[in-house]
């Protein structure tokens, strides 16, 4: 499984010949959406994923945040909701793109099972800022998963596959 790191922020380096920060942010979001489309094609064949839906939020002005939202519906009825965005900040005449990410799995009744994010909790462990929450949005706990592919792998192996196997084992 490829490891696309959860980038927390992209900073402008005016002396670099690398891509500008906005282009780097766009490229990273595009790589995650491409990953999800590839997963959809492969896992639909094995009746693991029913569909992947994207709710694009294209930037209307150059100052708008870069963002995508995805909803992955599994054949078990579980849904993984993903929000990935870069928020532009100006700091001392330099551009900073701060990334906010969340992926939350809900069962077929809408109850939260597990989720990962890098939102507003206090840092207290090594995997910070990425952390996870258990069933019912428990207190933040450390997470080994640091990328969208790793989160997808955890969701499928720990939560979806056991349910699929239970369907076929009397």
pLDDT tens digits, one per residue of 82-110: 998 888 888 888 888 888 899 999 999 99
pLDDT at residue 1, as a whole number: 42
When divided into structural domains, the chain yields a total of 1
Is residue 156 assigned to a domain? Answer: yes
Q: Is residue 2 part of a domain?
A: no
**Could you tell me the residue range of the domain that residue 145 belongs to?**
9-167
β-strand partners of 59: none
Instruction: Report, as ranges of residue numbers, the positions in the chain whose pLDDT lies below 50.
Output: 1-3
Q: Is residue 163 part of a domain?
A: yes
Q: What is the DSSP letter of 137?
A: T
User: 82 lies in a domain?
Assistant: yes
Q: Indicate whether 70 belongs to any domain.
A: yes
Report if residue 131 sits inside a domain. yes
The H-or-E segment that residue 2 falls in is none
What is the value of pTM for the model shown? 0.85
pLDDT for res 70? 95
Distances from the Cα of 143 to the Cαs of 83, 149, 170, in angstroms? 18, 14, 34
DSSP letter at 165 equals H
For position 121, what pLDDT does the model report? 61
* Residue 3 falls inside a structural domain: no
Rounded to whole angstroms, what are the CA distances from 115 to 82, 92, 152? 10, 34, 11
Q: CB–CB of 80/103 below 8 Å?
A: yes
CA distances from 144 to 38, 129, 147 (A): 23, 12, 9
């Amino acid at each position: 499984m490829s490891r696309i790191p959860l980038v927390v922020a992209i900073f402008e380096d005016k002396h670099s010949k690398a891509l500008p920060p906005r282009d780097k942010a766009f490229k990273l979001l595009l790589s995650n959406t491409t990953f999800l489309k590839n997963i959809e094609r492969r896992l639909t064949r094995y009746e693991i994923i029913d569909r992947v839906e994207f709710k694009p939020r294209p930037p209307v002005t150059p100052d708008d945040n870069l963002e995508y939202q995805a909803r992955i519906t599994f054949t078990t009825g579980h849904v993984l909701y993903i929000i990935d965005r870069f928020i532009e900040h100006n700091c001392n005449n330099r551009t900073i793109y701060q990334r906010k990410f969340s992926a939350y799995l809900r069962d077929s009744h809408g109850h939260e099972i597990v989720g990962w994010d890098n939102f507003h909790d206090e840092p207290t462990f090594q995997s910070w800022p990425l952390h996870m929450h258990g069933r019912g949005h428990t207190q933040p706990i450390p997470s080994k998963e640091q990328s969208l592919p790793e989160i997808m792998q955890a969701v499928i192996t720990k939560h979806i596959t056991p349910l699929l196997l239970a369907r076929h084992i009397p």
